[in-house]
Every structure is written in structure tokens, then in C-alpha cells.
Amino acid sequence: MIFDLASMITKRLYSFLISNLFYNTLHVFVMPTFVAALWGRNCQPVVTFTRSLAGSSVDWTKCNSGGAFRHAKRRPRKNLIHYFSTIVGGGGGGEGGHDKESDLARVDETNSPFRVYLAVGSNLGNRFDNIRQALNLLCQDTSSKLVRTSFLHETAPMYVTDQPAFLNGAVELATTLPPLDLLDKLKRIEADLGRSLEDGIRNGPRPVDLDILFYEARVETGGSWFRRETLHSENLTIPHPRIQERAFVLKPLLEVTGPSFVHPVLNTTIGELYDRLLETTDDDEQGAVRVLPLPNDRFLYWNETLVMGILNVTPDSFSDGGRFDQVEVAVQRALQMYEQDGAAIIDVGGESTRPGADDVLTEEELRRTIPVIQRIRELSSKIPISIDTRRAVVARAAVQAGADVVNDVSGGSFDPNMLSTVADLGVPIILMHMRGTPKTMQTMTEYENVVDEVANALSEASRAATDAGIPRWLQVVDPGIGFAKDMQGNLSLLRHLSRIRAKTHHLPMLIGTSRKGFLGTLTNIPEAADRDYATVASCVTALCLEEHCTSGTILRVHNPAAMVQAVKVMEAIRYES
């Protein structure tokens, strides 16, 4: 009798919970915690929502242990899904594909009821500037804020193939706007930037294209759980109905969401959709190439290893100090490195950062570098130029004179105005790891784990740049070989580049070993200018030891002709089919 009474009470209590308004809270928040505790693993329910249903549904099958569960039985070609997992820090489907502890943008979005994923593209005019202007217009008021971006990809046109190549990417927004209001705003921005929906060809050329891919609504104010929405109206369908057939959308979207993000209608992860699409084509990348945008619609392409030629216009650099401190001599050297030696970019520096070097006055750094940049730009509008500086004033003056990239050996930490200045200029930044200053750095070479500590510091520098308004499609990292590193530290970093890439979310990487002291110690060659063979060996060996790299590399060297030859041979062997 007691058993029957207990059974009746249990049934009535369960019926009460089912009908009670608090059931959804129990279903969505309490049960995941309970099940995770029982299973002893990271269980992240995928919460999906449709307007035709009164509540949420939870797919309890989407549990994982570190993001590798889905591909336990089958690896995609080139391990691409693992690559996309490391781009966003592992990511789980229930949180929109993000590992909260490794978010690339620390944005306070607790007051934004919606999280939105957009595809962005352009194939007319200055493509990158069109995308940049569109996002600036979208986020100029308080209704929307950019949380993170993919990398940018140049892709062949689809559907209508007789048109220019597209620049494509994906972004995540936090917004207060419901779907139809956001759609109206996106259409106004497209019109403001010159797109005509009435006169244009469907799937034809356009200055800018802004498509809503997914929409998520916050479950409760201030909470971290979102439900993935679906919508079918005359003007808008969410999720976007053609995601699964578009590699140019899926690839950048994966870089934002991670592969475990679940499509709420197809009930399939984005990683699986991309994997299936690759199986229908002979080209893994479907013609897509990651790019680094430069001013005036120019790009560096990451489908090959790039060589950067060093141009020190200083009297005291460790290898070539005093050789190029006259403007015309420096300019001729720049032209030779680009036009004859095959350098992809010229790095102009006006301050020696050799170990023990003293700081240079800002005025002197400007005097050394700006006339050289101006003269190079007068002679060639094509040559990509970076300015090697730690100072925001020099960076701004150099970009105004014609430089395309800012290369900061302090990773943006020396000058508090550097990151905001580069964000305002809208150019790429190279973030290098170092400790102290050139004067003090070689007294700071002790690490418990040099690879992890450098990688974590670079990841923090990337986050700081993102917070300052520099999207990650404009970021490159540099482990800082020879800067606050001893011999073993340098060798460990070069041996484990793939680990650094994974921990920095596969940002492109610059490697600078050229003629440095540790190479002289290893080879017993005292003169820096005689270490070019060792330089080539260090770069080629480090790259060949990497397990898998699709994120892009720049090799910064004094002798680009030798390095370009080595790279051609290395890549012919590595990618022989």
C-alpha cells in the first residue's frame, strides 16, 4: 500500500512538472547537469527551436569528450575537421560551436538577446573595403556588435561562373534585432554600398552580399544557453536554405562555429556537411584560397609559403647595419628583392632590435623609414610593404606613406596606442612574442614550457587585437625566434610549430630565424652574413616537421633569393601528388 501511494505521488508530481511553466528550465538546465554528472563527460545538449513548437527540444546524443567524438570512425581528407576544431578552440554544438574558455573575442554580449551568423562576400570594386564598410555600418550603433570573424577566402564564382572571383567570409554577431529587422538593415547596407536587387543578375556580380545563415535566441536574460531558431517567411528562411551546397559558405562558417555546430533542420553538424561536400569534388578546397587583405584590393595568398625580404635602414642592425641607410640604395634593394629574388613582401625597419640594442627616438625612426616607403611606392603600386615598428605614430605615418602591414615585435604591448591605431587604419598586423625590450630580453629566457607559454602569450595578443577592433582575418603571429629565447627555446619552438598553430587557432605565422646567433653557435660561423645556408635549413626543417598546415606561413629573411629556391623545392616534394 505504501508502495502504491508513493507511486501515485510520483506520477502526479511528474504530471505537475510537465504542465508547469518551470518544466523547460528543468529540461534544459537541470537535466544536462544531471546526465553529465552520471556520464562523467562533457555533455552539451543541442537546443533547437521552431516557431511551430511551444518549447525546446534537446538532442541528448550530441555528447562529446573534447570535440573528437564525431570522427572517431572516419577521418576526413587532410584531417580538415580537426583543423577547424582547433581554429575555434574545440567547440561544442550546444554552445554554438565555441569553447567558452578560448573565445577569440571577449565581448560583453549578455544584454543581446540574439546571436547571429552571417556570410559576407564581394566580387566588385574593392572587395575587402566593401566588406569592411558593410560591417562598420552594421555595427555603428548599439544594436549589433561583431563577436568574431572567420578568415577570408578568395573563391571561384558559383552558379553564374562568368564573373570575377569572390572574397568570402563569415562573422558572428551579438544583436538586439529580431530576424526580419536585421534583414531590413542588411538590405539597406547592401543598397548603400551599390547593390541593386532589381537590376542585378541573380547570383551575379555584387559589391557586397550579406546573408543570414543561422539565428539563435538567448534562453534567459544573462544566460549562456541559446536555442537555434528556424523561420519560414516570404522574405527570409532560417537556416539559409542552400548552406549545404556551398563550400564558399561552409568553409569560413566552420572557422567561426567549429565542426560540431548542428544544423537544426538537417540535424547534421556543419563539419559533416562540409565533409560530404568535399566527397563530391576532386578539389578539397573547391578553388578557395585563404588570403590576407592589403590596401587597394591587393592580397597575399596563403596557398604557398611566402618569403619576406628584410630591409633594415639602420646603421646598427646585427647583420646588414649601415648597408641600406641611404634612401636610393635601400629602394634599389627593395626592388631587387621583389622583382628579381621573388620576395612576396618587403619589411622596412628603422630600429635595430638585436639583443642589447638601445631604443631609437621616434623622430629618428620616422626619418629613416618614411622616405624609403614613399619612394618605393612612387616606383611601384604593387609591392607589398610592411613597417617593422613598435610605435603607433610610426605605424600610422608608414601606412599613410604607402605601407600595407604593421609588423610589431612587441605584439602590440610596447605602445598602448598601437592596436587601436592599426584597427583604425584597417591593415594587417603581425604580432610577435617577446619579453622585455631588445636591451633586456636576453635576461628573460627561462620558461617552464617554452612552446606552450609562447603559444598562450600569442593567443592573448590575438585576443587583445580582436578586442581593439582588428579582426582575425587581419592577424599574423610570430613566435619570436631569438627574442627572449635561448638556444633550446629556439629549437623547441621550431620543432613544435604545429602545436603553436593549434593553440593560436591557426592564425598565419611568420618565422624569423634569418642569420640569428643561435645558428652561428650551431654551425660555428661567427659572421652573421655567412649564415644563409643555416637559415634555409632551419626554416625548411621546421616546416617539414609540421604534421599538417593550411594556415599560411611567411619566412622573414635577409637573402630571399636563396629562401625562395628552397621553398619551391620543399613544396614540390611535400605536395607531390
Crossing angle of helices 392-401 and 418-425, in 10° steps, is 20
Q: Are strands 553-557 and 509-511 parallel, antiparallel or unpaired?
A: parallel
pLDDT at 31: 34
3-state class of 430 per DSSP? strand
Listing DSSP states for 95-130 in one string gives GTS--GGG-S-----TT--EEEEEEEEE-SSSHHHH
E-strand stretches of 326-473: 345-349, 385-388, 405-408, 429-432
Check 375, 556, 568, 574 and give the catalytic one: 556
Amino acid letter, residue 199: D
Is residue 185 part of the annotated active site? The answer reads no
The C-alpha cell 572571383 sits at: 165
Q: What is the per-residue pLDDT for 133?
A: 96
Q: What is the pLDDT along the chain (577 residues), one digit of tens a residue?
A: 444 544 554 444 444 443 343 333 333 333 333 333 323 333 333 333 333 323 333 332 233 322 222 232 333 444 555 566 666 643 333 333 443 333 333 334 446 899 999 999 999 999 999 999 999 999 998 899 999 999 999 998 877 777 889 999 999 999 999 999 999 999 999 999 988 766 666 666 889 999 999 999 988 766 677 899 999 999 999 999 999 989 899 999 999 999 999 999 999 999 999 999 888 865 444 568 999 999 999 999 999 999 999 999 988 555 555 576 789 999 999 999 999 999 999 999 999 887 877 889 999 999 999 999 999 999 999 999 999 999 999 999 999 999 999 999 999 999 999 999 999 999 999 999 999 888 888 889 999 999 999 999 999 999 999 999 999 999 999 999 999 999 999 999 999 999 999 999 999 999 999 999 999 999 999 999 999 999 999 999 999 998 766 679 999 999 999 999 999 999 998 877 5
pLDDT for res 69: 23
Length of the chain: 577
The pLDDT value recorded for residue 167 is: 96
Please tell me the predicted confidence (pLDDT) of residue 42: 36
DSSP 17-78: HHHSTTHHHIIIIIHHHHHHHHHTS-B--EEEEETTSSS-EEETT-B-STT-GGGSS-PPGG
Q: What is the pLDDT of residue 279?
A: 85
pLDDT computed for residue 541 by the predictor: 95
Q: What span, in angstroms and rounded, lies between the C-alpha atoms of 38 and 63?
A: 13
The active-site residue out of 516, 531, 568, 574 is: 516
Q: pLDDT tens digit string along 391-430? A: 999 999 999 999 999 999 999 999 999 999 999 999 999 9
Angle at 337 between CA 333 and CA 338, to 5 degrees: 120
Bridge partners, 406 (sequence order)? 387, 429
Give the integer Cα–Cα distance in Å for 370 and 395: 10
- Ordered by where they begin, the domains of the chain are 69-289 (3.30.70.560), 305-574 (3.20.20.20)
556 is annotated as an active-site residue: yes
Burial of 115 (0-12, 13-18, 19+ CB in 10 A): buried
What are the tens digits of pLDDT across the range 84-143?
666 664 333 333 344 333 333 333 444 689 999 999 999 999 999 999 999 999 999 889
Dist. CA 347–CA 558, nearest whole Å: 10
